[in-house]
A and B are shown apart, each in its own frame.
Chain A
Amino acid sequence: MSIGEKREYKVIGTRPVRHDGVDKVTGRAQYGADVHPTGMLFGAMLRSPHAHARIKRIDTSRAAALPGVRAVVTSADLPDQGSRVVELGEGAVNMRHLSANVLARDKVLYKGHAIAAVAADSIHIAQEAVNLITVEYQPLPPVLDVRAAMKPDAAVLNDDVRTEGLEPGDPAANRPTNVARRILFQKGDVAAGFQSADVVLEHEFVASTVHQGYIEPHNATALWNADGNITVWMSTQGSFTARQQTAELLRVPVSDVKVVPMEIGGGFGGKISVYLPPVAALLSRKSGRPVKLVMDRAAVFEATGPTPGAYIRLKLGFTKDGRLVAGDAHLAYEAGAFPGSPIGPGCMCLFACYDIPNARVEGFDVCVNKPRTNAYRAPGSTHAAFAIETMIDEFCRQAKMDPAEFRIRNGAKAGVRRVDGPVFDRVGMIETVEAIRNSEHYQSPLGGSNRGRGIATGFWFNCGLKSSVTATVNADGTVALVEGSTDIGGTRTSVAMQLAETLGIAAEDVKPTVGDTDTAGYCDVTGGSRVTFATGIAAVEAAKDIISQLVVRAARHWEVDPKTVEYVDGGVTGPAGKRLSFRELAATLHETGGAVIGRGTSSEANQGGAFGTHCVDVEVDPDTGKVQILRYTAAQDVGTAIHPSYVEGQIQGGAVQGIGWALNEEYWYDDMGQMRNATFLDYRMPTCYDVPMIDTILVEVPDPQHPYGVRGVGEVPICPPPAAIANAIAGAVGVRMRQTPMSPPRVLAEILKQD
């Protein structure tokens, strides 16, 4: 269902069949692993068996000698990066670290760390050759726990890492360390806030590492041509950042690299960083042939993704009449092998749902011997929501206060200053809670024993960033739209619909194409819930550009003054009741000056944030600790739903990922830092037999920054589920879960502690 402010649209809010749909239900859509240029070789990679070790020697001679092997590369083939830090569209990256992650140099920092690669006539020969490469390691003690890694005596992963963000003059700033960054935000008077509190709660929370879990493994096929041009066909969330990363890693001009974004089989943040393209390119340069690299599932788990494991300590102060008056938070996020966990957004999101007068949050970005973490759907926010949303629920149950009422009373709204400083504009936090409170689900009685109901709210900023669109009017009245935003979830259609709405034509009359980096204008990544927002703005701009040109063309066609021509409801009107529909006018363009091409760009740094509130019913088996999800409803402030089906789909998909995070998903490491569950069998993502239907309530609070009020919807739905489920478990069996996943043994252990 959908509630909130409504405006009248012709195309927006309808549910056309997506433009790429037929290709995807017939198997014709071409994904990265499907490309097969003439003469292509198959590549395979050698990966580290150790979590932490120094590489003393690599001998690839036996691999190179195997018949059918055409090229072998190691990090020695990658150019030196010095200590450059480069802006890569969605954040700055230390190139030395990025390069060492692509192919390890002097050290391996996690099990599965890539060391060498082979290109051969068949995948089987390539794999046999990889087994012939010998590496001499000097194993080092693995650092696996974020708190242990912060200790002064911990083994240091990267000797070039120093702690950023310390107080001026702090001597620790000059010491090699695993703590790459410290973040501190403060608002009001925290001590006085706790003084004024009637109830103070303080708890520790632990979150395990989880993976984005996209079904399509990373892949890249590269051709390094004799003319120096490099073409990469790959699965990526951002062809332009993939191009830049590849060019920077190979130290070639960015224009020498063309990235062709194939259809992408899921990303969720994990397909922004590059792993394979530079390696495939080097193998191609050595062999003179195109080379395809595809990761196997174990490599995807062990060497890509994941989102950080985390330790959080949170203290909250409440007045007995139910006001949140003070908060103090300590967050330590695992960066993995190299700095760069989402500790910043984690700290900024933790208190963002609430109007809290006094708060302090301190966060740390900490290197450990696990894969380099990457963005995953609202990076850093889910961990934070798990902590604060379960503690608020704990207070509400103690104070016998309705958790929805508490959130409505304390919720963030326009004018509230966040702990990180800025003041909220129009946001829909309270509206989403009201939507849940008023829902049939929340109002319905919860029958049965060992059952509980929980709610939780989540926040994510949503990025804006840069997008471009070009649109060419065809003589038959259709429009060919070219964008650079890879389409992971139907954005070709949601972008095309905005162009159609602006032009007053049908969605089906727009033919959207995702172009490669030589044919499309610059677009930042498909991430940060930004494409329907930012590329949508670019499409609207392109449509306006077309309109302004069409007015002139119509005037020329009618031989009247352009000032007398207007564009209204999908056509032009002129003097003496002249009117041409868009289609009629399109047919005349070749007589009045040729093609009409609209251009649009957008460069908003961010959107107004998005909020979601979820309600879940669970049943807990008190003998085994297993949790079943009985019913689930998610309400979200979506701004304006362009294609409601795909908005619902984002919310449903995010909610189920959150359910997986809550109940079973985790990296299971042994003491030597070996991940022991790097398969879809033992890394337990929800199957459809594990979840119910996910009901959605689309709350439409238009974003003033977007012409149609669009807000990003993709990320925030992953934030509330773990907390909502923990709260439901508390209602069902009276135990408070403070560690994710809330797997059966952990829940049972808490139950057994009770009696």
Chain B
Amino acid sequence: MAKKRVVQTTINGDAVEFLCEPRQTLLEVLRDVLNLTGTKEGCANGNCGSCTVLMNGRPVTSCLVLGVEAEGAEIRTIEGVACGGHLDCVQQAFLEGAALQCGICTPGFIMQTEALLAENPQPTEEQVRFHLAGNLCRCTGYDKIVRAVLAAAEKKRANV
């Protein structure tokens, strides 16, 4: 078996060092090695977006990233969104807008939304839908998710 590697990375602002086999995906490392199970597996081939995390500020499907590729990277997961026990306004908007039913896709949608609002604070409904197309939700029909994202954008703008 290939030798395990020591990987030094930053996860949700903390310096983290972990051991993994080259064949372990970042998703597997987060869930099974680091016990960060908020990131979900839906398809393992990049088509559902449930495992979306931010890597150096950009959303990626962690099922298609090797754990060893996290060396020197900045990773942000759903566990790192709420700070100091306070929900982020995207999380708040999802809650208040009833933008989740079963909730399995929610962490991925929230990470993807964080990335969208960081680069486009005032997205149109069209832009929201295009940006979130890589995240599947089977419960909501997307209506309340899109509204929550638009509401969060508005709130973020009001706060700054």
Measured CB to CB, the closest approach of chain B to A489, in angstroms, equals: 4
In the assembled complex, the Cα of A694 lies from the Cα of B142 at a distance in Å of: 9
Question: Contact residue range for chain A?
Answer: 35 or more
Q: Do A25 and B100 contact each other (CB < 8 Å), given the known contacts A124-B21, A689-B129?
A: yes
A656 & B141 in contact (Cβ 8 Å cutoff): yes
In the assembled complex, the Cα of A623 lies from the Cα of B150 at a distance in Å of: 34
| A266 contacts the other chain (CB 8 A) | yes
CB-CB nearest in chain A for B45: A679
Within 8 A of B (CB), among A31-83: 31, 33-34, 36
- Total A-B residue pairs with C-beta atoms closer than 8 Å? 182
Q: Do A124 and B96 contact each other (CB < 8 Å), given the known contacts A27-B77, A27-B78, A685-B136?
A: no
| B48 contacts the other chain (CB 8 A) | yes
B87 interface neighbour in A25, A29, A264, Cβ under 8 Å: A25
Within 8 A of B (CB), among A273-320: 294, 296-297
In the assembled complex, the Cα of A21 lies from the Cα of B154 at a distance in Å of: 21
In the assembled complex, the Cα of A686 lies from the Cα of B137 at a distance in Å of: 9
| A639 contacts the other chain (CB 8 A) | no
| B118 contacts the other chain (CB 8 A) | no
Specify which chain B residues have a CB less than 8 angstroms from the CB of A686 in the assembled complex. 142
CB-CB nearest in chain A for B78: A27
| B58 contacts the other chain (CB 8 A) | no
| A6 contacts the other chain (CB 8 A) | no
Within 8 A of B (CB), among A678-726: 679-681, 685-689, 691, 693-694
| A657 contacts the other chain (CB 8 A) | yes
Q: Do A268 and B101 contact each other (CB < 8 Å), given the known contacts A26-B81, A652-B144?
A: no
B138 & A214 in contact (Cβ 8 Å cutoff): yes
Q: Per-position contact with A for B1-35: 1 when CB-CB < 8 Å, else 0?
A: 00000000000000000000101100010011001
| B62 contacts the other chain (CB 8 A) | no
B42 interface neighbour in A123, A215, A655, A657, Cβ under 8 Å: A215
| A22 contacts the other chain (CB 8 A) | yes
CB-CB nearest in chain B for A489: B101
| A417 contacts the other chain (CB 8 A) | no
A297 & B44 in contact (Cβ 8 Å cutoff): yes
B95 interface neighbour in A17, A30, A680, A694, Cβ under 8 Å: A17
Measured CB to CB, the closest approach of chain B to A526, in angstroms, equals: 11
A24 & B100 in contact (Cβ 8 Å cutoff): yes
Q: Do A31 and B101 contact each other (CB < 8 Å), given the known contacts A297-B42, A652-B140?
A: no
Measured CB to CB, the closest approach of chain B to A590, in angstroms, equals: 32
Q: Per-position contact with B for A120-138: 1 when CB-CB < 8 Å, else 0?
A: 0001100000000000000
Measured CB to CB, the closest approach of chain A to B113, in angstroms, equals: 11
Measured CB to CB, the closest approach of chain A to B47, in angstroms, equals: 4
Measured CB to CB, the closest approach of chain A to B91, in angstroms, equals: 4
Q: Per-position contact with B for A669-681: 1 when CB-CB < 8 Å, else 0?
A: 0000000000111
CB-CB nearest in chain A for B36: A27
Specify which chain A residues have a CB less than 8 angstroms from the CB of B129 in the assembled complex. 687-689
A26 interface neighbour in B32, B82, B140, Cβ under 8 Å: B82
A216 & B104 in contact (Cβ 8 Å cutoff): yes
Specify which chain B residues have a CB less than 8 angstroms from the CB of A36 in the assembled complex. 32, 35
Specify which chain A residues have a CB less than 8 angstroms from the CB of B133 in the assembled complex. 687-689
Within 8 A of A (CB), among B94-134: 94-98, 100-107, 110, 125, 128-130, 132-134
Q: What are some 9 contacts across the A-B interface (CB < 8 A)? A: A24-B103, A24-B106, A26-B38, A31-B37, A214-B104, A653-B141, A657-B141, A680-B48, A691-B142
The 4 A-B residue pairs whose C-beta atoms are closest, nearest first, are A27-B38, A265-B104, A656-B141, A652-B141
